[in-house]
Amino acid sequence: MNWFLTEEQQMIIETAREIAQKKIMPVRERYDHEGIFPWDVVEAMASADLCGLYIPQSYGGFGGGVFELCLAVEELSKVCGGISLAMAATALGTFPLLLFGSEEQKRKYLPDIAAGKKLAAFGLTEANAGSDAIGMMKATAKLDGDHYVLNGTKQWITNGENAEIYTVLAITNPNRGARGVSAFIVEKGAPGFSFGKHEDKMGIRASSTTELVFQDCRVPKENLLSKEGMGAVITITTLNSSRPGVGAQALGIAAGALDDAVAYSRQRIQSGVPISSFQAVQHLLADMATEIEAARALLYATARTIDSGEKRFAKEAAMSKLKCSDVAMSVTVDALQVMGGYGYMREYPMEKRMRDAKITQIYEGTNQIQRNEIALQLIKGAAAG
């Protein structure tokens, strides 16, 4: 389909595709098996000016938005959904700064992120606080002179120990519930900040997932984002802006799986003919392609809506994440079916695509939570009307 991309947007796709083919494809199998973080790919993305696509030019970025980020993440994910996360997870950790940071904070941190010199991460999830991340939060931050003292742990943090800049949520006033949570910028190496368990995951194994540990960690009070009590608002606004990035990752995984299934169906001979001539296989391919295009249409429309300055897009952000991740899971299952026993073997990347696809239905809000959000927005909209 023609998405009426600008020359710059088309160049983003072509650049990301070249990196995916030349830098990611040769290493994706080994990095997945061994759980290697893709520093060489990060360097390639930085050299190609992809790291700052969504960051304003005034802070050293490309000056694009969520849409440009999605274009790059989708293209990288066609080859490896795990390696692409180095970029997508950094965006998640950066959005709080973009949306709520002071001018001083932005000038201090954004240029290094835009240049690819430093990665970012978002410290929200805790062991006993999954879908109710704010309500069940235990991490605390207490003001002590010119510093806040952070205590607690964060679990399953993407980019983990490989990031340099972290947005961390903690309770500053336990008597105010959700309004007592605040957000802080924490730098790697801060006193009292260390790393715990490194997770051994089913998929996205080239992406690091690590526990963050804060033991009397002293953070300068000027690293408070916005003001005390804004943590819940920062979290919700950040996730609404970042969920299309998860959708792009999922969409890329699905699109890559379809490409592999089509290529295999044309090469695999059974009963003297390619299996692509069998109607059963054709129908599988047709359904996969249709679902991918439908998901892409929703994702691109959502990303462009966010970039337009529209203030209300929580429903669409949830829809795009939900649709793209469900499509990724169903497409990888059907694509593996097309490839039969070969698809189940590690000789082909299809089993990896399926493993990578599953997490997109879980993180940044499970798809059940996305359905809750969509329904809530529908009901609120009807009541307001």
Catalytic residues: 364
Burial class (CB in 10 A: 0-12, 13-18, 19+), 367: middle
Contact 152, 215 (CB under 8 A): no
Q: Cα-flanking dihedrals φ and ψ of residue 272, to 5°?
A: 85, 5
Contact 225, 377 (CB under 8 A): no
Q: Where are the alpha helices (DSSP H) in 345-366?
A: 350-359
Nearest to 114 by CA among 208, 179, 48: 48
Contact 88, 245 (CB under 8 A): yes
What is 114-171 written as a DSSP string? Answer: HTTSS-EEEE--BTTBSTTTTTT---EEEEETTEEEEEEEEEEEETGGG-SEEEEEEE
Cα maximum dimension of the chain:
79
Give the separation between CA 41 and CA 27, rounded to whole angstroms: 10
Q: Report the relative pairing of strands 193-198 and 140-144 from DSSP bridges.
A: unpaired
Token pair in block for residue 115: 């240049």
H or E segment and range at residue 207: none
Which residues, including other chains, have CB under 8 Å from residue 382's CB and lie 6 or more apart? none
Instruction: Return the amino acid letter for 360.
Output: T
3-state SS, residue 216: strand
Give the separation between CA 87 and CA 158, rounded to whole angstroms: 11
